[in-house]
């Protein structure tokens, strides 16, 4: 037997394959044992999954899908990768913010609108509320510095203000634009 092989899982797998009249051939036995060993502590679960799904092979474990309305549980590695990706997005956004946007409050508001769209698509991210709060602060400062008529006249910027500050914020902007 191979080192690291869960012999009880292997025996169940061989018995299952024999029961479905697909016995493991001697030429492929070693390769199949190596494949099972690579699953480490999950060998038993991999065999159970294959048997319960009536599969003829051993496959990576499939994680259960969340119920409708339930958020998927992410591993620490997935969260770290997403945080790293967002850090890159934020650096890129900051670079665009300073380099490619017309250096006016209105130009920066248009970029903030695009960033808001990105954040809203990924509402299940761990730092979503922090990012929205940061963006709300930035937009608040920019709206104060921008021409209120120009901001109110742009439907996407008007929607951004409404989304971040609610109807009261939109009404304050409209009042400033009409004054």
> Residue 171 has which token pair?
């009404």
Q: How far apart are CA 28 and CA 31, in angstroms?
A: 5
Q: What is the pLDDT of residue 179?
A: 84
Contact criterion met (CB below 8 Å) for 137 and 165: no
| pLDDT for residue 46 | 94
Q: Residues, the chain, total?
A: 179
In which band, very low, low, confident or very high, does the pLDDT at 2 lie, cut at 50, 70 and 90? confident
Nearest to 2 by CA among 35, 27, 26: 35
Q: For residue 121, is it within any domain?
A: yes
Same structural domain, 107 and 154: yes
Cβ proximity of 9 and 50 under 8 Å: no
Residue 102 banded pLDDT, cuts 50, 70, 90: low
Q: Is residue 167 a part of any domain in this protein?
A: yes
Do residues 171 and 162 touch, judged by C-beta distance below 8 A?
no
| Full domain range(s) for residue 94 | 80-178
Residue 150 host element (H or E): helix 148-153
pLDDT of residue 127: 81
The sign of the torsion formed by the CA atoms of 27, 30, 32, 35 equals negative
Query: Tokens representing 117?
Result: 């769209």
Asked if 38 and 51 count as a contact pair (C-beta separation under 8 A), the reply is no
Alpha-helical (H) ranges within 38-104 are: 43-52, 76-99
How many other C-beta atoms lie within 10 A of the C-beta of residue 16?
Answer: 16
Does residue 105 sit in the same domain as residue 164? yes
Rg (CA), the chain: 28
Instruction: Take residue 132 and report the two structure tokens written for it.
Output: 């929205």
pLDDT exceeds 80 at position 67? no
Whether 93 maps to a domain, the answer reads: yes
Predicted pLDDT of residue 82:
84
pLDDT value of residue 64: 72
pLDDT at position 100 is 61
Q: What's the pLDDT tens digit per position in 24-59?
A: 999 999 999 999 999 999 999 999 999 999 999 999
> pLDDT category, 174, cuts 50, 70, 90?
very high
Which residue from 118, 121, 76, 81 is spatially nearest to 96, judged by alpha carbons? 118
Compute the average pLDDT of residues 106-132.
85
Tokens 């474990």 belong to residue: 61
Which pLDDT tens digit goes with each residue over 81-93?
Answer: 888 888 887 787 7
Per-residue pLDDT at 66: 72
Does one domain contain both 148 and 106?
yes
Q: Which residue has the tokens 């989304």?
A: 163
pLDDT band at 170 (very low <50, low <70, confident <90, very high): very high
Same domain, residue pair 174 and 99: yes
Domains identified in the chain, total number: 2
Q: Is the pLDDT of residue 73 over 90?
A: no
């Amino acid at each position: 037997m191979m080192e690291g092989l869960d012999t009880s899982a292997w025996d169940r797998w061989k018995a299952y394959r024999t029961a479905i009249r697909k016995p493991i051939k001697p030429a492929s036995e070693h390769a199949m044992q190596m494949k099972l060993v690579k699953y480490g502590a999950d060998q038993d679960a991999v065999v159970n999954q294959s048997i319960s799904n009536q599969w003829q092979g051993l496959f990576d474990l499939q994680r259960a899908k969340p119920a409708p309305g339930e958020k998927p549980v992410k591993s620490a590695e997935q969260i770290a990768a997403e945080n790293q990706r967002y850090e890159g997005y934020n650096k890129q956004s900051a670079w665009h913010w300073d380099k490619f946007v017309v250096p006016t409050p209105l130009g920066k508001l248009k970029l903030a609108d695009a960033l808001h769209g990105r954040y809203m698509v990924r509402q299940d991210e761990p730092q979503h509320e922090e990012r929205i709060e940061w963006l709300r602060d930035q937009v608040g400062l920019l709206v104060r510095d921008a021409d209120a008529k120009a901001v109110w006249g742009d439907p996407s910027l008007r929607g951004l203000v409404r989304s971040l500050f609610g109807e009261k914020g939109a009404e304050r902007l409209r009042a400033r634009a009409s004054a």
